[in-house]
Structure 1
Amino acid sequence: MQTNLYFVRHAHSIYTPDEINRPLSESGIADVERVAECLFGQRIGNVISSPYKRAIQTVEAIAESVDKEIIVMEDFRERQLSETSVDDFQFAVSKLWSDPAFSWKGGESNDTAQNRGIKATFQVLERYMGKNVVIGTHGNLMVLIMNYFDDRFDYTFWRNLTMPDVYKLTFEARKLLFVERLWKQD
């Protein structure tokens, strides 16, 4: 029995130091309906999201279109990069990808964030076996989850993601069968 997980990287957001309550930008809000259209006809049974506002906002239209409440799962939140803001975001992330056990002060290593994301993914696969489930999440965590199953999903892949982005991962139990990008940029 196959299970399809539709990982939705949140749409563009307004930068604020408040990670949890950072809202979508105007362009991000404009993309929300396009994300729902992208998933139209996929027979979505459940909608799950990170607790972060930008992730929830990105999947709200999908949840409304299939008349489902959004289930918030804490472990789909973005990785904690460090306890304070970093001077060079790209460098900080590339360092984490080059050494999966490394973490910045107060932050999560790739290994730690990946383990958290995989635990949540396996919970979803077990709870919703045979269903089509949307998961609103974040770029770093999404790619770390994908990387667990296939190492071609790496730092370079992450750098090429868009906001939003949508990937369909098809599983047989816990085995990843294939990955398909559904999001089409204009």
Structure 2
Amino acid sequence: MVTAIYFVRHAHSVYTPDELGRPLSEKGMEDTEKITEILAEEDIDVFLSSPYLRAAQTIEGAAEQYKKEIIHREGFKERTLSEVPASDFASAISRVWEDWTFSWEGGESNQEAQARGVDSLYKVLAEFKEKKVVIGTHGNIMVLIMNYFDKKYDFNFWKTLDMPDIYKLTFTGKHFIDCQRVM
């Protein structure tokens, strides 16, 4: 038997400097209906989420459909790019992907964020062995985790992600088998 992890990148959100409480936009809320429809066909056992509102809101409808609680996991929050918002996000994010050990002041390097995310995923694989687990998360941390298992999931791949997006990773124990885009 395999464990299936469904990483759900959050839907479009309203920009506010409050990372934790930033809600989905009207379009984001509409897009959650697609997430709910897709996940309705998957027989999900567990719903986990980053503690950020937009990640939980993206999977909320599906969790309600299954009558499941969303459990918040700190390890799946978005990577901290810097202590203060970057004046040029594109160049700031490019820089951390160019040098995996580099971090902006108060931020996480790719190496640090990936280690956090992979450690969190391994805990989920141990706790929910042979289950189907949805994880509401964010683009950067999701791709950093995926990259640990397959290097083709890189910065260029990250730039192609949609909001929302779903990737299903399958494992036997801690052994990675496959990754497929679901939506």
- Normalized against structure 2, the TM-score is what? 0.99
SS in 2 for 1:168: strand
Aligned Cα RMSD in Å? 0.6
1:87-98 correspondence runs (5 A): 87-98=87-98
How many residues end up aligned between the 2 structures? 183
- Overall identity of the aligned pairs, in %: 54
Residue 24 (structure 1) aligned with residue 24 (structure 2): yes
SS in 1 for 2:105: coil
Which residue identity lines up with residue 119 of structure 1 in the other structure?
Answer: D
Which residue identity lines up with residue 84 of structure 1 in the other structure?
Answer: V
Give the Cα–Cα distance (whole angstroms) in 1 for the partners of residues 94 and 125 of structure 2. 30
1:37-186 correspondence runs (5 A): 37-183=37-183
SS in 1 for 2:162: coil
Q: Deviations over 1:127-181 (max 9, x none)?
A: 0000000000000000000000010000000000000000000111111111110
Q: Deviations over 1:27-49 (max 9, x none)?
A: 00001111011112211000000
Give the Cα–Cα distance (whole angstroms) in 1 for the partners of residues 69 and 94 of structure 2. 36
Which residue identity lines up with residue 171 of structure 1 in the other structure?
Answer: F
Following TM superposition, by how much is the alpha carbon of 1:91 offset from its aligned partner in structure 2, in angstroms?
1.2
Give the Cα–Cα distance (whole angstroms) in 2 for the partners of residues 8 and 90 of structure 1. 23
In structure 1, stretches of 5+ residues that fail to align are none
Which residue identity lines up with residue 175 of structure 2 in the other structure?
Answer: K
Give the Cα–Cα distance (whole angstroms) in 1 for the partners of residues 154 and 91 of structure 2. 15
Which residue identity lines up with residue 126 of structure 2 in the other structure?
Answer: E
Give the Cα–Cα distance (whole angstroms) in 1 for the partners of residues 12 and 139 of structure 2. 11
Q: Deviations over 1:71-111 (max 9, x none)?
A: 00011100110001111111111111110000001000000
Following TM superposition, by how much is the alpha carbon of 1:25 offset from its aligned partner in structure 2, in angstroms?
0.3
SS in 1 for 2:87: coil
SS in 2 for 1:112: helix
Give the Cα–Cα distance (whole angstroms) in 1 for the partners of residues 58 and 147 of structure 2. 23
Q: Deviations over 1:39-80 (max 9, x none)?
A: 122110000000000001001011001110000001110011
